[in-house]
Amino acid sequence: MPAAPAPRSQPSSQAVLAAVAAGGAIGAVARHGLAAVLPHGHFAWSTLAVNLTGCLLIGVLMVLITEVRPAHPLVRPFLGVGVLGGFTTFSTYIADIRQALDAGAGAAALAYLVLTVTGAVAAVWAGASLTRLAAAAVPRRAAEPAGEEGAA
């Protein structure tokens, strides 16, 4: 009888830190690139797009690595905390609201605030729900039979 696989050891804190840092750099560069393609006008569309996309993707990621298939212990820190954490931006969201208020655009600031918060929650829910539906639609492989006794 083959031995059971050894339990996966937890990564060192240095490995987790490196994964988060590398992912954060990638996410921040991606956010900067999107902001260059979608510059702010009177409404912070690029920040809204970044935050809603990041929330959708975190919903997908969390279902994939917690419910569908176990992942390497560094996947969550790299993708979830690093890439998506660096991609999304709460601080820019707040700064955008402040700028709108300072410019006398209180209605736009309120709309942006509400749209971001409700949209973020809806995006996480949609990402998680659609990923669960997609995972349920994919047939899982049945365990291979150990061998058929008496087969000639």
Contact 43, 108 (CB under 8 A): yes
Give domain limits for the chain: 14-137
Residues belonging to the binding site are 85, 88
Q: Return the pLDDT at 152.
A: 47
Q: Return the pLDDT at 142.
A: 59
> At what angle are helices 106-137 and 90-102 packed, to 10 degrees?
150
pLDDT block averages, 10 residues each, the chain of length 152: 60 96 97 87 87 97 96 96 95 93 94 96 98 92 54 48
Residues belonging to the binding site for Na(+) are 85, 88
Helix, strand, coil share of the chain (percent; to 5): 70, 0, 30
Chain-centroid distance, C-alpha 8: 23
